[in-house]
Amino acid sequence: MAHSFDTDTEAQGLIDYVDASPTPFHACEQAARRLSAEGFSEVDERAAWPTEPGRHYLVRGGSLIAWDTTGAHGAGAGPAAGFRVVGAHTDSPNLRIKPNPDHSRAGWQLLGVEPYGGLILSSWLDRDLGLAGRVAVRGRDGVESRTFHGHDALLRVAQLAIHLDRTQNEALSLNKQAHMEPLWGVGDEPGDFVGYLAEQVGVDREDVLSWDVMTHPVQPSTRLGRSRELIAAPRLDNLATSYAGVRALLDAVATEPTHVPVLVLFDHEEIGSTSERGATSTLLPSVLERIVAAGGGTRDDYWRALASTVIASGDMGHATHPNYAERHEPMHTIRVNGGPVLKVNTNLRYATDSFGAAAFRLACEQAGVPMQTFVTRSDLPCGSTVGPVTSSLTGATTVDFGAAALSMHSTRELMGADDPAMYAGALSAFLAPA
């Protein structure tokens, strides 16, 4: 039986995870570190799959998938044992550095950036920003990948003074090309971004070949509110689910469930999931099939296993905003610190059906946590998640869920401090149903 999660411990654990994970690459590194500490071993996709029962994970860029076959093996479930899968994503909207970023204007050194995902542009103004990411460098045996995390305040996207545009409090209009370039120095000559990267990853300038580098706010995450009942942090969408998923998997495997528990953290959800490591890729189906094959199963066993599989797709949900209550479905008020949020959309922007909803409700009951239900207003468009994609690729019953938050896609989002513990508890119960 899954144990209960301590509220303060999980709130601080989430804060630590978010602050250590400014990019999807770092989010996977942090997840892998926690899994390795609890006996999970890394698998190389290019190597033969381990045939002995065990706890494993693999990393593909900014995505990670982990699983445990020891319980199913011990119970004699066979290679056609079904899966219980928790899915989330590691990426968040931000500003990413262009290939030729250095230029200067009016005595300022600037960096060229491209907005990634559906970010709230105004929330990036007048923030102290750092840089982090992955750098491809020349190595002894070819190309090597190195990550770095710049903690220093380095950049700022400066807002125009109110004296120069008196209308901006009524109608702020930002052009992504013209108005979102960050300053990072003073001078008539451009800066040296490649030189900066070389220093960060410890190579010569000429050995920097390419990069996936992005900006991040350097202000630490924190508890706030009169009773410290809230968490203010960047990237809660969707690192809050990634963190809860890792904690849930580590808790669930201790019970040795008779099916195979799986955690998958995808990159690129915010831009449609279409990549070699996004939810539309081969990552999840190929790993599930190789797990079955490693257990001696056939292709038919794989499809039998999928027929017994249930997937829970986790992504943050909208808490009812007190200043914009009219933007929410009036019969489905969502509260922070109110427990996990079941997401429902009849047009299948969320994958939830009645069977999946029932499975998630039972998990919340098993964990002893309340559950809320989110529905978008009928006259507003609805966002989506990795749920519909994973459901269509596997044919497995899928349920979409989340945790309540305000200011989604801002540089600084807000959620309840009680919710990480309830979130992890519900997911642990989902992965290891009683």
pLDDT tens, position by position, for the chain (434 residues)? 446 799 999 999 999 999 999 999 999 999 999 999 999 999 999 999 999 999 999 999 999 999 999 999 888 888 999 999 999 999 999 999 999 999 999 999 999 999 999 999 999 999 999 999 999 999 988 999 999 999 999 999 999 999 999 999 998 999 999 999 999 999 999 999 999 999 999 999 999 999 999 999 999 999 999 999 999 999 999 999 999 999 999 999 999 999 999 999 999 999 999 999 999 999 999 999 999 999 999 999 999 999 999 999 999 999 999 999 999 999 999 999 999 999 999 999 999 999 999 999 999 999 999 999 999 999 988 888 999 999 999 999 999 999 999 999 999 999 999 999 999 999 999 999 98
Q: And the tokens for 273?
A: 């999931």
Residue 349: domain span: 7-92+234-431
Same domain for 202 and 266, yes or no, is: no
Same domain for 86 and 105, yes or no, is: no
Cis upstream peptide for 100 (omega within 30°): no
Place of tokens 């693999």: 58
User: Is 40 a member of any domain?
Assistant: yes
User: Is 223 a member of any domain?
Assistant: no
Would you state the pLDDT for residue 3? 60
**Distances, alpha carbon 148 to alpha carbons 113, 124, 132, 197, 343, in Å:** 18, 21, 6, 9, 36
Q: Tell me the C-alpha distance between 235 and 239, whole Å.
A: 6
Is-contact 250 40, C-beta < 8 A?
no
Q: What is the CATH number of the domain that holds 413?
A: 3.40.630.10
Would you state the pLDDT for residue 1? 47
User: Is 289 a member of any domain?
Assistant: yes
Same domain for 240 and 375, yes or no, is: yes
User: Is 58 a member of any domain?
Assistant: yes
User: Is 34 a member of any domain?
Assistant: yes
Q: Based on the structure, what is the number of domains in the chain?
A: 2
Q: Domain boundary at 158, 187, 217, which?
A: 217
Q: Domain boundary at 217, 243, 259, which?
A: 217
Same domain for 262 and 360, yes or no, is: yes
Same domain for 411 and 305, yes or no, is: yes
Would you state the pLDDT for residue 73? 86
